[in-house]
Amino acid sequence: MLRLFRILGKRGRITIPFEIRQRIGFRYNDVLSFTELDDSSVVVRREKLCDNCNEFAEEYGENYTLEDFLDSLSEEEQRDALLHLSLLWAEKQKH
């Protein structure tokens, strides 16, 4: 098991070490979830918002819109996307 340490920044930000990102496969713009366990530890997971997003993009080609993408999602996937976008918007409002 790989164990690395990082310091939490003043705005609550932390960089996931390159070694971890590489091993787990985290990439730019991935959606991550954080789950607090009973022992006060936190599990970080990469979440998949859409199982077949690429299929829809290929079907629509250049005319594929954000609305098309959102319509292609299940209700649960739409809720997850809305939550993710709401959090991004709220973070930008702080700056």
DSSP-derived secondary structure for 21-86: HHHHT--TT-EEEEEE-TTS-EEEEEEPS-SSHHHHHHHHGGG--HHHHHHHS-HHHHHHHHHHHH
What does the pLDDT read at residue 35?
92
**What are 22-77's pLDDT values in tens digits?**
998 888 878 888 899 999 999 988 887 666 666 655 665 566 677 777 888 889 88
What does the pLDDT read at residue 90?
85
pTM for the model: 0.49
What does the pLDDT read at residue 45?
87
- The Cα 15–Cα 86 span in angstroms is 22
